[in-house]
Amino acid sequence: MKWFAATIALWVFSHFMPVQAADRPVYLRTAWISGQEYVNLGDWAQARGFQMFWPLHGDDITISSRWAKLSLKTKSRVISLNGASVTLSLPLVAQRDTLYISRLDLRTLIHPILYPGRPDRPKKVLTVALDPGHGGKDPGNEAAGEQEKKHTLLLAKEVQKRLTQAGVKAVLTRSADTYVENHDRPALAKKLKADIFVSLHYNSVPSGRSDVSGIEVYCLTPATTASTNDPRDSGPHGAMPGNRNDEQNALLAYTLQKQLLGLGLNDRGLKHARYTVLCYAEMPSVLVEGGFMSEPREAKRIVSQAYRRQLATAIVDGILAYKRLIERPAAAKK
């Protein structure tokens, strides 16, 4: 029976990984599904001190504690995290009576948001690069005689003013109606020694659907997974420069999204995309879509000074929330 015991020991060793639990050690059982490593969601919840509810093993799952709540659906990539819609890179999988979440989503999305701060790499947010989308020969989206490039620049200047008032240096990748290549924008931010990069845009649907509205916040798609809006895009073989900051990208997107939801617009979620500016940013970076120009009521708000000021305040509050989390002392880390 020796070989049997050895096989069992080897199997246990290779399939269970000890994690630091709140009160007692819990082992995370793992599985390989469609070429990706998945973690038993029940084990993870227990290890992190959460209660998990999966009524009748149906489609809806709730994981909660006193300070956080996650609502998930089987086979879905969209979850609700403390009330904000967040998109996983890989779908949640139910196999018989067990739920699995990808280790990649835990590492690049869930943990950075729930347990922010990196004591091993203290980082201060002293300079923020604001990137007004489009400009010059590239007008961006157009609706009712208004061009996106004009309103992203007005918004960037409003955010810059408020950040300066809050004591944070803000630099712009363009400060006039000029054309700047998308590839050059993160390079310019690096030259200006920016610690984070926030690209500002307004959305549009190409044809017909004038009813689509709301806020979206994008961060770079993690390597080897598909972007939210393009399930067939698995990206280049290797990671992009922006993937070095997957964790901070997610946290910055989430802190911004949480503030933007206070504007009362439709929550279209934290999403992943391989936009050029995000691919090549060497500092934590996000792209904010501040509403749909193709939706008539939202287009009216976008061109109004009142909404611009509200949006700018929310963006500044999101940046300052990120700054507080990332700069807090190591001892405060959960």
Which parts of this chain interact with Zn ion (CB under 5 A)? 133, 140, 201
Distance between CA atoms of residues 282 and 279, nearest Å: 8
Of residues 185 and 201, the one with the C-beta less far from Zn ion:
201
Write out 104-135 in H/E/C secondary structure: HHHHHHHHHHHCCCCCCCCCCCCEEEEEECCE
- Those residues whose C-beta lies under 8 Å from the C-beta of residue 6, and which sit 6 or more positions away, are none
| Closest distance of CB 43 from Zn ion, Å | 42
Q: Which residue is nearest to Zn ion (CB)?
A: 201
Residue 22: half-sphere exposure toward Cβ, Cα within 13 Å: 11
Of residues 91 and 140, the one with the C-beta less far from Zn ion:
140
- Those residues whose C-beta lies under 8 Å from the C-beta of residue 234, and which sit 6 or more positions away, are 224, 225, 226
Of residues 140 and 269, the one with the C-beta less far from Zn ion:
140
Of residues 101 and 188, the one with the C-beta less far from Zn ion:
188
What are the strands of the beta sheet with 26-33, ordered from one edge?
16-19, 26-33, 36-40, 98-102, 93-95
| Closest distance of CB 192 from Zn ion, Å | 21
| Closest distance of CB 201 from Zn ion, Å | 3
Of residues 140 and 186, the one with the C-beta less far from Zn ion:
140
Single out the residue of 169, 184, 168 nearest to residue 131, CA to CA. Answer: 184
DSSP tag of 187: H
Of residues 252 and 293, the one with the C-beta less far from Zn ion:
293
| Closest distance of CB 333 from Zn ion, Å | 36
Of residues 140 and 214, the one with the C-beta less far from Zn ion:
140
With contact defined as beta carbons under 8 Å apart, do 130 and 198 qualify? yes
Give me the sign of the Cα torsion angle 140, 142, 148, 154.
positive
| Closest distance of CB 96 from Zn ion, Å | 45
Helix-then-strand count for the chain, H and E: 10, 18
| 3-class secondary-structure state, position 311 | helix
Rounded alpha-carbon distances, angstroms, from residue 171 to 53, 61, 133, 137, 156: 46, 43, 14, 22, 9
| Closest distance of CB 120 from Zn ion, Å | 36
| Closest distance of CB 148 from Zn ion, Å | 5
